[in-house]
Amino acid sequence: MGNRYAMKTSNNGNSVVYLGYQFFPYGLAEVQKIILISKSLKLAGSSVTVICRNGIHEKSQRPGLEAVGEFNGIGYNYASGSCYRNKNFFKRRYFELKGKLKEMLLLRKMKKKGELDFAILSTRRFSSVLYYVLLSKLLRFKTILNYVEYYTAFHKKKSQYRQRINDKMFDKYAPRIVDTNFLISEFLSEHVSRMAPRKRNLKIPNLTDFEKYAGITSTECESYFLFCGDASYKEIVYFIIDSYSLVNAGTPYYLYLVVSGRDKDIEDVKVYAAKNCNNQYVKIFSRLSENKLYSLYKNAKALLIPLRPTIQDAARFPHKTGEYLASGNPVISTNYGEMKFYFKDKEDMLLAENYDIKLFAERMQFIIDFPDKSKLIGMKGKEKAADLFEYKFQSQKINDFLKSLK
């Protein structure tokens, strides 16, 4: 078949493809979700292939990336024949059309060979969900929506009317028209249950790969709190800076901000930190290697991830929560969203009761005042994360759920 990396399943396995996402195998949280669910399925004997319609990577940033290949044992295929974004407008349109046609032909070929049972849809576009559902009826495979955000709750500019329409259509109809949903939160579970009470769905928590810490050791270094996230979430970054400004430490405790995104947003963070707290103790990083990032996680005194009392944060479950916890260091958050369903304050996480600067600063101060208790909370958080979020332990549950839908 067209994808030489597709694998035959065992008798107990399923044949699964991922559709709708174009950044594989390099990207942020969504790519990690794809990788970890795929690895869970493969452990139970299923095959997984990620099909990307057309390439959007920059060749200067990802040289040598093949259009058909394997990453972390997961096969992938760029249907257009190229994983790179062409600079010519007309050639881009050509590759987009070619990718759409080749994707359909590849799926048909896989179905004829008995290598296509399920397609997991990883996309925010309602039109894409509708297209794949119609295609699934034609080729007779089942669709699963990887539903991880409540997009209607996202702030949008007045000029983004198309995005507002798309998000409303997505949240209202996409979970209904697919065969089933992979849901990441209680909020989304309840939302889908109200819309389609008879539909069977599966809640999959925030999966984590503990093996990523293999070979990363603790080192003697300065004491610091760490936040990692996109600089465009300025409200959250500024909240952390303001909380940090209230902390009192006998010896210096630094604030490390690992931020990604647009240069302008990163610069805004630097300016805000300089104006609102002692800037000599704030260090800002961006574009770190994965190994360097995990080393910073491993050596932090505490890792920060506040959730706001908003619908957006109630519906999501940030991927880095599991990565933080796997470090064995204490995590500070707010008692909201998914956090309140899994963790308890001062037991396996430090949770400010409300999204309040003073309350969050108190939890940061606890780290400084009670280092031994903080370490114990970090270890208990790691133990809980291992039981709940380690992708290996979710393998059979996910695979059995898919088998029950056949």
Query: Is 336 a residue whose pLDDT tops 80?
Result: yes
Residue where the block lists tokens 């800002």 = 284
Q: Where are the alpha helices (DSSP H) in 113-227?
A: 126-139, 161-177, 186-195
Rounded to an integer, what distance in angstroms lies between the CA atom of residue 289 and that of residue 294? 9
Answer for the pair 83, 108: CB distance below 8 angstroms, yes or no.
no
Rounded to an integer, what distance in angstroms lies between the CA atom of residue 147 and that of residue 245? 37
Rounded to an integer, what distance in angstroms lies between the CA atom of residue 177 and that of residue 280? 53
Query: What's the pLDDT band for 2 if we cut at 50, 70, 90?
Result: very low
CATH (residue range 15-207+395-405)? 3.40.50.2000
Q: Which two tokens stand for residue 97?
A: 């059309």
Strand partners, 232: none
| Structure letter (DSSP) for residue 311 | H
Q: What is the pLDDT of residue 41?
A: 94
Decide: residue 133, CB within 10 A, 0-12 exposed, 13-18 middle, 19+ buried: middle
pLDDT tens for 36-62 read 999 999 999 999 999 999 988 888 888
| Amino acid sitting at position 3 | N
pLDDT tens for 287-327 read 888 899 999 999 999 999 999 999 999 999 999 999 999 99
Fold that domain 210-388 belongs to in CATH:
Rossmann fold (3.40.50)
CATH 3.40.50.2000 residue ranges of the chain are 15-207+395-405, 210-388
pLDDT tens for 58-82 read 888 888 889 999 998 899 999 999 9
Q: What is the SS3 assignment for 375?
A: helix
pTM of the model: 0.91
Answer for the pair 23, 194: CB distance below 8 angstroms, yes or no.
no
Query: What's the pLDDT band for 1 if we cut at 50, 70, 90?
Result: very low
Query: What's the pLDDT band for 12 if we cut at 50, 70, 90?
Result: low
Query: What's the pLDDT band for 341 if we cut at 50, 70, 90?
Result: very high
19-33 exposure pattern, b = at least 16 Cβ within 10 A, e = fewer? bbbbbbbeeeebbbb
Q: Is the peptide bond before 63 cis (omega within 30 degrees of 0)?
A: no
